[in-house]
């Protein structure tokens, strides 16, 4: 009996129809398919999309290990997890050996093979006479139909219970999944879903959606059906301290309330708030990548102001070191890589430095994050209406006057990288950077852990096809004649690349206008004209029509926009966007807590849910509400008790690494690890200004290839895992401990030099304790040479002024003179320090003070009684107390406590 009003469900048996009024069928909940097909006389015709393909997924037919692999299996290939319905239907119906036999239904290979454990390589998947068998048989008997123009839209998948909280004893809980379709149909699809667990030891799940509790802890069970992916939190308390037995824990901030709600369910009691010394060290390293000075520690501990921690947070957020540290994070995210930028400038002016400076200025100004991102995402070299020559004149003027690239509104370098040229590569890199998602799987098939299909990826990459980077205009470009005219005026044509570059650089400094590479936008219509290559489509180009969905969420008519990146940016910064704000919030949280609310931080897929969803939602909503204010985010996180708790565990939270009940000791970023070795061993003057100056700081190295004096840091940064920025993946940076790191701190000449360097703290102590009346003759000679160099510089500037030399030459001479004066001032300070009056021999009290100073410089705390006794005894036993201090500093730098944040 056929009922056309129920066409999406095919034929419904009379037994089931008696349960529903025809006019109310869309609002009712259809029972499960296994119930409806339990009767061998069932005449319902299952739907290909809603029933047949999900059942094949449930049976594993279109999994990676079976027919869903790239090569297929046994001459039969399906789309991975079955989301290309037309391709899968064709694979069954067509080809040399079709899987459907309409004349002999039971001879159809989708029936005969999986019901025979001997002939089927995958073994028996279901039994003859089972409800699964009847689903396939009824579908084939009815003609094995699929209408590609009538693909149904799944509105949502409702899974209950939404959260599973087990008690102390192991139990089982069944899930129920209801598919809600756009036509109003509601169907119990529990036996058609795919179920996976993110941790089998805590929660196992069978093919029927029944969860079994295991070890104590928390995880998620993932339910997938059609394009829906739903995560169900599963918790089994760690202790009996739940409900009324849970102790009272203060929750002064919203963060603490949300963290506390999860801990209460788990029976985990958070550690107490850290001591002032522990907090001060942690917050200095996290916000500014800098150790607190001994004087700062003493003053902070003595301060009785109850608001002193918030005041310290605010103070650190105003330091140049804060700007530099978080600029480095954004350079990692966006891919500032020297090797990928070697074609950006005609004069080798340091594009990685320009990239760094551009972001630094905006962090310094506390520009809203969405505005900063807009300056990157919508970057282009010239505005509509500007000619190529006008653009080149503007850029030439900027470089001639030693202006800053940071003054430009947009960061065009982002679009100029060598590994960021094709729409596909751009889509993947962009998703990593600004959305915190890994979308690359969808290039070839349905994403295994999210809703994105291959079509979604193809649509998405359309938004990255319009912008192109050109070293020079092409012959068919409107600006090619302007480029040719500039080259003729410069008379550099015909020279080889290196010679031409040097000549162009020289002529730029002479005041000439030179050509510059640029990021320009193709006309919108041109993006959708697919070039043909020997009869084949260019796979790097998007689809030919001018409509595209942004990851299946918002359809855009490209013919109505001049820059097709604008609707992408508008979608990204909308309050309902599920990725943009969360991606940055999660990264910043991970920098403070060792692990993100979602981990890894660049995998915000539905199959990798947050450990605390309400917490991530709250921070993302607050970030948006506060105008994407990055300092608000830092303050909100660091002001919480969750951040300020000690690392010392209690009996309930010893094994907690992802629910934020205590601080987790963690490796420092490579740049910070290198900097604090230098800081701890530096002289008092350098130490005092360390957070206020960026000179020689690793956090201020712009790209991936340190230049100049920074080259000495290259090996150490590599050992400690500095980001390679080869992609935009978080995996480019390593935070893992290694043997090489230990060897570096113990034996590397660079570290040992810091302990013996003439300008370091130990050398200063040596001059004070042992005296140095003769001074350093070599240093005195360098000072005298510096004074002579300055005099020559003055004379050169005077001569240039009298000879009416070009302004650029005079300015260049003045800059060299200023640099010489700066170097001389440094040398003179060193000379004054080495000629300090001879100090008396240290007394035991003096030794005690030196031990305390060494601990404050390195571990940011005073030594305990045992540590103090051991250190003092060593200093008193050595012939020269300075050697003892050097030994102590070496030992402290090589402790775990020094090289981790805790």
**pLDDT by residue (tens digit) across 437-457?**
888 776 655 556 666 677 788
pLDDT of residue 591 exceeding 90, the answer is yes
The residue ranking higher by pLDDT, 82 or 685, is 685
* Residue 663: predicted pLDDT: 97
* Residue 197: predicted pLDDT: 95
Determine how β-strand 172-174 pairs with β-strand 228-236.
unpaired
Quick check: 141 and 101 in contact, CB under 8 A? no
Strand spans (E) along 169-300: 172-174, 176-181, 186-188, 194-197, 203-205, 210-213, 217-225, 228-236
pLDDT of residue 587 exceeding 90, the answer is yes
Contacts of 818 (CB under 8 A, 6+ apart): none
Average pLDDT, the chain: 85
- In CATH terms, 154-236 corresponds, of 3.40.50.150, 2.60.40.1080, 3.20.20.105, 3.90.1150.10, to 2.60.40.1080
Average pLDDT over residues 392-415: 90
Lowest-confidence pick of 69-83, 111-125, 507-521, 747-761:
69-83
Task: Out of 40-44, 79-83, 109-113, 287-291, give the one with best mean pLDDT.
Answer: 287-291
| Segments making up each domain of the chain, as ranges | 4-148, 154-236, 276-320+578-665, 342-362+370-572, 773-834
Contacts of 545 (CB under 8 A, 6+ apart): 528
* Residue 831: predicted pLDDT: 66
pLDDT of residue 324 exceeding 70, the answer is yes
Contacts of 30 (CB under 8 A, 6+ apart): 9, 16, 36, 185, 186, 187, 188
* Residue 808: predicted pLDDT: 65
d(CA 280, CA 277): 5
pLDDT of residue 789 exceeding 80, the answer is yes
Helix, strand or coil, per DSSP, at residue 545: coil
Strand spans (E) along 532-606: 532-533, 536-537, 547-549, 555-557
Quick check: 586 and 596 in contact, CB under 8 A? yes
Contacts of 852 (CB under 8 A, 6+ apart): 862, 863, 868
Using pLDDT thresholds of 50, 70 and 90, give the confidence band for residue 530. Answer: low
Helix, strand or coil, per DSSP, at residue 486: helix
HEC-encoded secondary structure of 791-829:
HHHHHHHHHHHHCCCCHHHHHHHHHHHHHHHHHHHHHHH
> CA distances (Å), 41 to each of 15, 17, 140, in order?
10, 15, 15
Location of structure tokens 């998007």: 542
Average pLDDT over residues 48-63: 81
Quick check: 528 and 546 in contact, CB under 8 A? yes
Q: Is the sign of the CA dihedral 378, 382, 384, 388 positive or negative?
A: negative
How many Cβ atoms are within 10 Å of 525's Cβ, its own excluded? 10
Prior bond to 600 cis, omega within 30?
Answer: yes
Quick check: 876 and 870 in contact, CB under 8 A? no
Burial tier of 413 (Cβ tally within 10 Å: 0-12, 13-18, 19+): buried
The residue ranking higher by pLDDT, 796 or 252, is 252
Virtual torsion, Cα 190, 191, 197, 202, nearest 10 deg: 80
């Amino acid at each position: 009996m056929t009922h056309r009003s129920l066409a999406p469900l095919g034929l419904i048996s009379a037994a089931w129809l008696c349960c529903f009024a025809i006019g109310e069928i869309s609002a009712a909940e259809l029972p499960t398919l296994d119930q409806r097909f339990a009767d061998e006389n069932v005449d319902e015709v299952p739907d290909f999309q809603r029933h047949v393909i999900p059942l094949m997924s449930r049976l594993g037919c279109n999994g990676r290990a079976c027919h869903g692999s790239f090569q297929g299996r046994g001459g039969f290939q399906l789309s991975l997890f079955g989301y290309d319905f037309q391709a899968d239907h064709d694979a069954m119906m067509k080809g040399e050996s079709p899987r459907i036999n309409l004349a002999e239904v039971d001879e159809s290979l989708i029936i005969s093979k999986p019901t025979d454990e001997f002939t089927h390589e995958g073994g028996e998947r279901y039994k003859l006479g089972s409800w699964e068998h009847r689903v396939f048989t009824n579908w084939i008997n009815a003609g094995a139909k699929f209408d590609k123009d009538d693909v149904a839209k799944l509105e949502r998948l409702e899974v209950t219970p939404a959260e599973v909280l087990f008690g102390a004893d192991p139990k089982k809980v069944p899930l129920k999944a209801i598919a809600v379709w756009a036509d109003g149909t509601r169907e119990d699809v529990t036996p058609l879903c795919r179920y996976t667990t993110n941790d089998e030891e805590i929660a196992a799940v069978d093919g029927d959606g029944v969860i079994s509790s295991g070890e104590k802890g928390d995880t998620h069970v993932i339910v997938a059906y059609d394009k829906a992916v739903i995560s169900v939190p599963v918790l089994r308390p760690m202790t009996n301290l739940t409900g009324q037995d849970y102790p009272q824990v203060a929750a002064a901030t919203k963060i603490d309330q949300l963290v506390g709600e999860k801990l209460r369910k788990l029976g985990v009691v958070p550690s107490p708030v850290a001591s002032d010394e522990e907090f001060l060290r942690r917050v200095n390293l996290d916000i500014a990548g800098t150790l607190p000075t001994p004087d700062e520690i003493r003053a902070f501990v003595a301060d009785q102001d109850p608001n002193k921690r918030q005041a310290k947070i605010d103070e650190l957020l105003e330091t140049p070191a804060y700007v530099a540290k978080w600029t480095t994070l954004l350079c990692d995210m966006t891919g500032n890589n020297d090797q990928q930028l070697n074609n950006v400038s005609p004069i080798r002016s340091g594009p990685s430095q320009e990239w760094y400076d551009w972001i630094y200025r905006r962090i310094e100004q506390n520009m809203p994050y969405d505005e900063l991102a807009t300056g990157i995402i919508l970057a282009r070299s010239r505005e509509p209406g500007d000619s190529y020559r006008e653009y080149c004149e503007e850029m030439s003027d900027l470089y001639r006057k030693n202006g800053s690239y940071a003054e430009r509104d947009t960061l065009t370098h982002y679009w100029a990288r060598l590994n960021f040229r094709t729409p596909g590569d751009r889509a993947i890199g962009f998703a990593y950077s600004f959305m915190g998602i890994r979308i690359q799987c969808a290039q070839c098939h349905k994403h295994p852990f999210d809703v994105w299909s291959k079509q979604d990826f193809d649509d998405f990459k359309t938004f990255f096809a319009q912008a192109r980077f050109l070293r020079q205009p092409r012959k068919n470009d409107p600006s090619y004649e302007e480029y040719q005219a500039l080259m003729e005026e410069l008379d550099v044509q015909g020279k080889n690349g290196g010679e031409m570059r040097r000549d162009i650089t020289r002529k730029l400094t002479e005041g000439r206008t030179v050509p510059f590479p640029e990021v320009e936008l193709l006309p919108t219509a041109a993006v959708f004209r697919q070039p043909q290559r020997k009869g084949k489509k260019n796979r790097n180009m998007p689809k030919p029509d001018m409509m595209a969905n942004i990851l299946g969420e918002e359809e855009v008519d490209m013919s109505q926009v001049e820059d097709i990146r604008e609707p992408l940016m508008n979608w990204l910064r909308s309050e309902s966007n599920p990725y943009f704000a969360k991606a940055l919030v999660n990264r910043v949280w991970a920098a403070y807590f060792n692990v993100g609310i979602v981990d890894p931080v660049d995998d915000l897929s539905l199959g990798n849910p947050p450990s605390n969803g309400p917490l991530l939602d709250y921070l993302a909503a607050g970030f948006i509400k506060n105008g994407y204010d990055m300092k608000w985010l830092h303050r909100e996180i660091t002001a919480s008790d969750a951040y300020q708790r000690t690392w010392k565990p209690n009996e309930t939270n010893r094994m907690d690494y992802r629910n934020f009940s205590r601080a987790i000791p963690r490796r420092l970023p490579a740049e910070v690890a290198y900097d604090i070795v230098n800081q701890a061993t530096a002289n008092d003057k350098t130490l005092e200004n360390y957070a206020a100056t960026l000179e020689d700081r690793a956090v201020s190295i712009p790209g991936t290839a340190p230049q100049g004096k920074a080259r000495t840091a290259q090996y150490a940064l590599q050992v400690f895992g500095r980001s390679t920025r080869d992609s935009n993946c978080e995996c480019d940076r390593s935070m893992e401990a290694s043997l090489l790191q230990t060897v570096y701190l113990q034996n590397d000449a660079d570290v040992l030099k810091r302990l013996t360097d003439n300008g370091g703290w130990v050398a200063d102590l040596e001059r004070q304790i042992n005296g140095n009346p003769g001074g350093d003759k070599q240093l005195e000679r360098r000072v005298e040479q510096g004074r002579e160099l300055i005099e020559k510089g003055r004379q050169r500037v005077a001569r240039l002024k009298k000879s009416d030399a070009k302004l650029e030459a005079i300015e260049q001479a003045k800059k060299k003179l200023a640099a010489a004066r700066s170097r001389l001032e440094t040398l003179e300070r060193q000379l004054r320090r080495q000629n300090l009056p001879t100090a008396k021999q240290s007394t035991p009290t003096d030794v005690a003070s030196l031990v305390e100073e060494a601990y404050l410089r390195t571990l940011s705390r005073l030594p305990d009684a045992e540590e103090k006794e051991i250190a003092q005894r060593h200093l008193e036993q050595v012939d020269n107390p300075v050697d003892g201090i050097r030994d102590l500093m070496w030992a402290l730098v090589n402790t775990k406590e020094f090289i981790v944040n805790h």
